[in-house]
Structure 1
């Protein structure tokens, strides 16, 4: 924490020192006495007036911790330094965390270069696109295949509350893994703890971030050609998907093919599936598939992780396909037409009631 405070003091000195209208700048780290003070006091002159900036430094800039820091700042200014300008400093502040500061009239600086200060005719605003490695790692951990199993369950019905144990059972992952996902969601304020357990409070924010970070599941992408087409192909595929149980393998419509059953928008000449090894064998036999290097009209992905099959749905008799969330994510990364189809699907099937 001391290192963060030292870097925060340096960032303040550098940022404010570049403003010609500011003079007599003094950045003073504070000694904590029973939480009766903030971390840094800045004294300066602006527009002919002596001003005081009360700065709180936090090592974690996630919204959950930012909200607590804002209360601490406002309490300190109200009790100890009326008229002071409150400022929050952290290693990184996400757009959501920055918005919290603005809503409460609190300035902010992060060590990545984002900043907002406004007082006495002084206006400083900086935005950088970079995310620190620690933030990228945390987001990556939130969207791993195992974590994704938890997120898909939560996104089925964001208003539902879940105990950790029942969520672990429903998503087929360990209690410890669910607890990690839970903490990550709470830190970002994408979820909240209600009377019955955990529930999503900002499903759209979660899905937006997931879509931005999404990569298709790791696995073998196989290209095939079939002489079947139109209704005959659809019927043969439905029979193949519906025929097997878990012991006979798994196969589901995916991407554009799943979207045709969930929220029709853009039909393509290629049919898309996820399947395990036995499910691929069923599709191969039912559709008369021939492997090709190009000119394919059937694409089957055999994922390394089979967790996405747990979230399969049946929107019509015999039609087994990826859930709306998984279909949306796959469309997002499938090109311009896919993004248009994804937007349509989201409006039609993922317009959750706000909590």
Structure 2
């Protein structure tokens, strides 16, 4: 068997897909095509495999299939520039756009709608939109873009942010968890997070104590409401200060009680090691999948705009 190697300077899934779509020549059956690039994600390699080609990159990843042989090695980090682009995509204001897309993945989104919903500039939305198109996460429709693979996009978010969990501190309150929930009802800027949020979405996830997300100024008034004070050990609440983007897709899980979004909750559980990942997978199967498939409805629409 002979091999023909073609090198692409752009190895994003969209570029790979375009190259195969434009390719007119057909190789003889005795020749096997190998597509190479500086970096190929698993999604880009999937595009190669679907086209009957093998793939390898300069980072050391490869998926080679020829005859009876299949050789695969994945997991090598992308070059610094590609790594920075992914890390930047899942942080700050750009992450707000990802949040909105995952809240309604099958909605056809226009740039203006996303900018208004996420409270970011048109330029930010356009930049994120193009990156997600290049990476194959979005598809162009006549009225805008839709998420091609919400689970894949969510998993990539979890993977690229798992090394940077938000810092938290321990707090003690005389109130039990039920009373804490009662006191928090109506507090729109204090959210249940991680396992405490998952408990309301998927009852099989049992939290230890109560995890709360808040902004520093909001927490000061909430601490008074809960009669809570920071402690070095022995606390029954964990408080994490989060960026305001977490509130873009917050979920009113029941009247007046707010949690972090299901997508954020998946990511936070995923970053907690093997036990957390087990809970994240259950949340995905039993809450997010039915939500995305239309088998389950939001108790109330999470985004700022009205229901699509």
TM-score under structure 1 normalisation? 0.75
**How far did residue 128 of structure 1 move?**
4.0
Look up the match of 1:29: none
Distance of 2:231 and 2:65 partners within structure 1: 62
**How far did residue 112 of structure 1 move?**
2.1
Change (3 A) 1:221 1:85: closer
Aligned partner of 2:252 among 295, 314, 335? 314
Aligned partner of 1:252 among 191, 194, 204? 191
Q: Which has the higher contact order (CA 8 A, sep 6+)?
A: 2
Show the 5 A alignment for 1:183-202: 183-202=130-149
Asked whether the equivalents of residues 64 and 72 of structure 2 are also in contact (C-alpha less than 8 Å), the reply is: no
Look up the match of 1:10: none
**How far did residue 217 of structure 1 move?**
7.1
Asked whether the equivalents of residues 56 and 69 of structure 1 are also in contact (C-alpha less than 8 Å), the reply is: no
**How far did residue 70 of structure 1 move?**
2.2
Asked whether the equivalents of residues 77 and 83 of structure 1 are also in contact (C-alpha less than 8 Å), the reply is: no
Show the 5 A alignment for 1:264-343: 264-303=203-242, 305-343=243-281
Alignment of 1:64 with 2:14, yes or no, is yes
Aligned partner of 2:43 among 96, 101, 119? 96
Q: Deviations over 1:189-216 (max 9, x none)?
A: 1111101101101111111111111248
Name the SS of the counterpart of 1:350 in structure 2: helix
Distance of 1:346 and 1:292 partners within structure 2: 34
Distance of 1:131 and 1:148 partners within structure 2: 21
| Bigger Rg over Cα | 1
Q: Deviations over 1:213-247 (max 9, x none)?
A: 124877652321011114323212225x25xxxxx
Look up the match of 2:25: 76
Asked whether the equivalents of residues 69 and 88 of structure 1 are also in contact (C-alpha less than 8 Å), the reply is: no
Alignment of 1:353 with 2:303, yes or no, is no
**How far did residue 266 of structure 1 move?**
3.0
- The unaligned stretches of length 5 or more in structure 1 are 1-45, 243-249
Distance of 2:203 and 2:163 partners within structure 1: 21
Q: Deviations over 1:113-152 (max 9, x none)?
A: 3345555x69573414212223311211210121211111
Asked whether the equivalents of residues 56 and 89 of structure 1 are also in contact (C-alpha less than 8 Å), the reply is: yes
Alignment of 1:223 with 2:163, yes or no, is no
**How far did residue 83 of structure 1 move?**
5.7
Asked whether the equivalents of residues 43 and 136 of structure 2 are also in contact (C-alpha less than 8 Å), the reply is: no
Alignment of 1:153 with 2:100, yes or no, is yes
Look up the match of 1:20: none
**How far did residue 77 of structure 1 move?**
2.7
Aligned partner of 2:76 among 106, 117, 130? 130
Look up the match of 2:155: 208
TM-score under structure 2 normalisation? 0.85
Look up the match of 1:13: none
Q: Root-mean-square deviation (CA), in Å?
A: 2.4
**How far did residue 338 of structure 1 move?**
2.5
Name the SS of the counterpart of 1:86 in structure 2: strand
**How far did residue 54 of structure 1 move?**
3.7
Change (3 A) 1:255 1:128: closer
- The unaligned stretches of length 5 or more in structure 2 are 295-308
Asked whether the equivalents of residues 145 and 307 of structure 1 are also in contact (C-alpha less than 8 Å), the reply is: yes
Asked whether the equivalents of residues 108 and 117 of structure 1 are also in contact (C-alpha less than 8 Å), the reply is: yes
Once structures 1 and 2 are overlaid, which stretch shifts more, 209-218 or 261-270? 209-218
